[in-house]
């Protein structure tokens, strides 16, 4: 073949890669921004799952989309129902990050089918909560192989009794991750597995015990995007699920790891709230450290949890924290109160936490 022909073929191949893959000017695109609130629900309001729509809310590249539920309907997540899910799609099949709530499983798949007919192949769970894993078994039946930290698998299988004393529901074994890996404290930030799909390179990076003991962040190298799930949030106060092995100090550690893994322009996708860059994590980090120090000081003076809750220690942050409900504040302060003393150790993804009043 003559030299020009090789050049021509090379140009086509290169155009193919750049067209589908690398971060392109104009991305990310916000299609539908989450709500800002404040949201109020009448007494006894029950989330009307039939009214919630699952839509493409952000586009990270031509073949990497974010899905989220509509605002103002889900009492647990009023800014946008459920937890963000992501789909990387193309000829190699679909890779999904999280599966949204069980109640909207069909709608989530229908939303994916608006942009690709390729089979669901790979699923990763960023943490165990049902707004991120609820539709696991539904998507496993579509053909998805589910990956997660081993702790997440344990948390899912060994669910704790509910706060109201009701026994935990039996785990849906069809939705339990089949492929697991562990966080290695000697190599923080090291991907557990890397996928080369649809001209994207995707890293599943296990995190230290932070939001839970089974957190994973997902890095899309070409799109310059990291899904950072729930150890950071900007709608409502920080939530460390200590019973599932999380801790506020671990969340600070997680933020510090993002500082190392992300570039200044990397788009960070929290499970809830608005998209951010790593600089946006710093005031959050500072708030967690400040509140933890104040709560620890009060507990060391012998103050009770009720005293500490009454001190309204989040007040300096209410102005800048969307979704600053009393429930969200009290949960944060209660976590800090427990963490002022040493937390019980993580065993199989769980901590034996005292019951909250």
Kindly list the residues in this chain that would bind Zn ion in the complex (CB under 5 A).
83, 131, 230, 271
Complex with Zn ion: residue 85 or 176, whichever CB lies closer:
85
- Nearest distance from residue 112's CB to Zn ion, in Å? 19
- Nearest distance from residue 131's CB to Zn ion, in Å? 5
* Structure-block tokens of residue 259: 């500082």
> Residue 297, CB half-sphere, CA atoms under 13 Å: how many?
8
Helices and strands (H and E) in the chain: how many: 10, 13
Distance (Å, whole) CA 133 – CA 146: 10
Asked if 164 and 136 count as a contact pair (C-beta separation under 8 A), the reply is no
Complex with Zn ion: residue 203 or 230, whichever CB lies closer:
230
- Nearest distance from residue 85's CB to Zn ion, in Å? 11
- Nearest distance from residue 239's CB to Zn ion, in Å? 8
- Nearest distance from residue 98's CB to Zn ion, in Å? 8
Distance (Å, whole) CA 85 – CA 88: 10
* Structure-block tokens of residue 141: 């039946």
Place of tokens 């192989």: 145
Beta bridge partners of 145: 122
- Nearest distance from residue 83's CB to Zn ion, in Å? 4
Complex with Zn ion: residue 215 or 230, whichever CB lies closer:
230
Complex with Zn ion: residue 28 or 83, whichever CB lies closer:
83
28 preceded by cis ω (within 30°)?
yes
Complex with Zn ion: residue 83 or 209, whichever CB lies closer:
83
Task: Compute, in degrees rounded to 10, the torsion defined by CA atoms 28, 32, 37, 40.
Answer: -140
Distance (Å, whole) CA 102 – CA 303: 41
Complex with Zn ion: residue 69 or 191, whichever CB lies closer:
69
Nearest to 272 by CA among 26, 39, 23: 39
């Amino acid at each position: 073949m003559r030299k020009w022909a090789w050049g021509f073929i090379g140009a086509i191949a290169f155009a193919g890669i750049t067209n589908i893959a690398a971060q392109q000017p104009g991305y990310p695109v916000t299609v539908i921004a989450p709500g800002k609130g404040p949201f109020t629900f009448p007494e006894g309001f029950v989330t009307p799952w039939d009214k919630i729509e699952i839509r493409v809310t952000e586009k990270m590249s031509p073949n990497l989309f974010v899905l989220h539920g509509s605002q103002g309907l889900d009492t647990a997540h009023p800014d946008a129902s459920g937890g963000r899910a992501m789909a990387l799609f193309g000829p190699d099949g679909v890779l999904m990050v999280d599966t949204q709530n069980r109640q909207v499983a069909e709608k989530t798949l229908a939303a994916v089918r608006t942009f690709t007919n390729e089979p669901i192949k790979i699923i990763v769970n960023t943490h165990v909560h049902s707004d991120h894993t609820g539709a696991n078994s539904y998507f496993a039946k579509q053909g998805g192989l589910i990956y997660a930290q081993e702790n997440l698998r344990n948390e899912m299988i060994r669910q704790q009794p509910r706060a109201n004393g009701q026994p935990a529901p039996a785990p849906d074994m069809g939705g339990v991750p089949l492929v697991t890996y562990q966080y290695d404290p000697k190599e923080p930030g090291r991907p557990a597995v890397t996928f080369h799909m649809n001209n994207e390179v995707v890293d599943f990076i296990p995190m230290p015990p932070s939001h839970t003991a089974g957190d994973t962040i997902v890095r899309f190298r070409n799109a310059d995007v990291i899904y950072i799930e729930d150890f950071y949030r900007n709608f409502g106060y920080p939530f460390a699920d200590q019973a599932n092995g999380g801790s506020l100090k671990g969340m600070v550690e997680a933020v510090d790891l993002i500082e190392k893994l992300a570039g200044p322009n990397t788009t960070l996708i929290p499970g809830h709230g608005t998209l951010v860059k790593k600089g946006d994590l710093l005031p959050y980090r500072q708030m967690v450290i400040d509140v933890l120090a104040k709560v620890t000081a009060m507990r060391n003076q012998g103050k009770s949890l009720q005293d500490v809750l009454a001190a309204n220690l989040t007040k300096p942050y209410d102005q800048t924290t969307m979704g600053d409900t009393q429930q969200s504040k009290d949960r944060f302060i209660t976590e800090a109160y427990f963490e002022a003393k040493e937390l019980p150790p993580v065993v199989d993804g769980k901590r034996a936490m005292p019951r909250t009043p």
